[in-house]
Amino acid sequence: MAMGKPRAVLVAFALLVVLDRGLVRANFYDECDVTWGPQNTAIWGNGENLALSLDSDHIGSAIRTTKQFLFGSVEMEIQLVPDNSAGTVAAYYTSSLGDYHDEIDYEFLGNETGQPYTIHTNVFGKGQGNKEVQFKPWFDPTEDYHNYTIFWSPTEIVWFIDQIPIRVYRNYESAGAPFPTNQPMRMYSSIWNADDWACQGGRVKTDWSKAPFVAKYRNLKLDVCECESADSISQCYSSSNWYNGWQYSKLTAAQLGQMNWVQQNYKIYDYCTDYKRFNGQMPVECSLPQY
């Protein structure tokens, strides 16, 4: 009996190692560049912690990874702006460059004190977006850090919060739906003022007396196929890459149950049900199964 507990701990640790898939914890000092507002950017704790702030002069801040990648998993733990965050947007997303860029978004739209954040997701393929799905969180994202993961493969994109899938967007490029397939991306994080639209359609403005507005980030993890140019794209389609494994081609039954729970209880907008917006001519993927 005395050996039971240490043995259980060792088994649990072994399982964690297997499930981790060799995720690389990125150092913000080494892996990222500050692209906006260096005076509003702080990195500490051996480079594992980041704070981005928006000041009373309406100047925000932003970082991006130095490396580009095509497919894989990007994770970040984020603690959002507390109290009155109306008008502010904290973003965490992947994007390529150019007019016909690809992009996978998490955007966190602030609100008045006591009102829930809006978690905004979107995807662009070859410059075409307008695929927004929004949620209210089932937790207070300002009280503690929560894990936000973007999984991207040639077959699908999945958004996770604390390992719970909240949305799937499958690759239906063959049916005419744009999907990010061949443009290397970087990971970006930023905070800025968007009170012309972000809070209750722009009706509630930013209270600058509450500035600075600070979002905190930590434990950035990358498990991606590094791809610095179009010439190296083919390597990211290799069947030997972990994300191309059959077990990552669709959600498990348990994950489907989790996602259905989130969507039934916390989804507040889905472009695929906004018939007025598209005048009844719905995007082609809306009539196809997503999972």
Contacts of 119 (CB under 8 A, 6+ apart): 106, 107, 108, 109, 134, 135, 136, 137, 161, 166
Strand pairing report for 146-152 and 133-135: unpaired
Say if 17 falls within a structural domain: no
Number of helices (H), then strands (E), in the chain? 3, 16
Say if 186 falls within a structural domain: yes
Please tell me which residue, 84 or 11, carries the higher pLDDT value. 84
pLDDT at position 96, please? 96
Say if 148 falls within a structural domain: yes
pLDDT at position 25, please? 66
Average pLDDT over residues 103-108: 98
Which residue range is the domain that position 170 belongs to? Answer: 28-287
Average pLDDT over residues 176-193: 96
Q: Work out the percent of the chain whose per-residue pLDDT is above 70.
A: 91
Average pLDDT over residues 188-201: 86
The number of folded domains in the chain is 1
pLDDT digits (tens, 9 = 90+) for 204-254: 889 999 999 999 999 999 999 999 877 789 999 999 999 999 999 999 999
Runs of H (alpha helix) within 50-206: none
Average pLDDT over the chain, rounded to an integer: 90
For the domain that residue 151 is a member of, what is the CATH number?
2.60.120.200
The whole-angstrom separation of Cα 166 and Cα 129 is 19
pLDDT at position 99, please? 87
pLDDT at position 290, please? 85
Say if 15 falls within a structural domain: no
Say if 6 falls within a structural domain: no
Say if 174 falls within a structural domain: yes
Taking 80 as the threshold, does the pLDDT of residue 37 lie above it?
yes
pLDDT at position 20, please? 45
Say if 87 falls within a structural domain: yes
Taking 90 as the threshold, does the pLDDT of residue 57 lie above it?
yes
Taking 60 as the threshold, does the pLDDT of residue 22 lie above it?
no
Say if 77 falls within a structural domain: yes
Taking 90 as the threshold, does the pLDDT of residue 281 lie above it?
yes
Active site residue ranges: 103, 107
Query: Hunting for tokens 């649990």 — which residue is that?
Result: 12
